[in-house]
Amino acid sequence: MTLDCQLQFPGLIKVFTYHILYTGSDLVADIGGYLGLFLGLSAFGLVQVLEKFLKEKTHKKAFELAKTTSDILKDSINNRY
């Protein structure tokens, strides 16, 4: 007893490949572009805003420290005499 079997496969083979169409740098560039377009912000402008905020905060702390020191000196002079 002989068993003959024939298998037939299609002549074409599908090959799937993929390409990265959107890289990390593209994402950063697009986010920066949209922020610049809609909010008027740029990386340089953002740094300037942050710098201004930190300077203002530092100036406020220095002013508060000077005022506290002045109050302490006034109290010590008034209590001495």
pLDDT at 41 over 70: no
CB 41 within 8 A of CB 35: yes
**Buried (b) or exposed (e) across 34-51, using 16+ Cβ within 10 A?**
eeeeeeeeeeeeeeeeee
Burial class (CB in 10 A: 0-12, 13-18, 19+), 29: exposed
Residues 3-40 have pLDDT tens digits of: 888 888 778 888 888 888 888 889 888 888 887 787 77
Residue 68 lies in a domain: yes
Which residue in 21, 26, 46, 25 sits closest to 35, CA to CA? 46
**Domain range holding 77?**
43-81
Structurally, the chain folds into a number of domains equal to: 1
Residue 21 lies in a domain: no
Q: What is the pLDDT of residue 80?
A: 60
C-alpha of 45 from chain center: 14
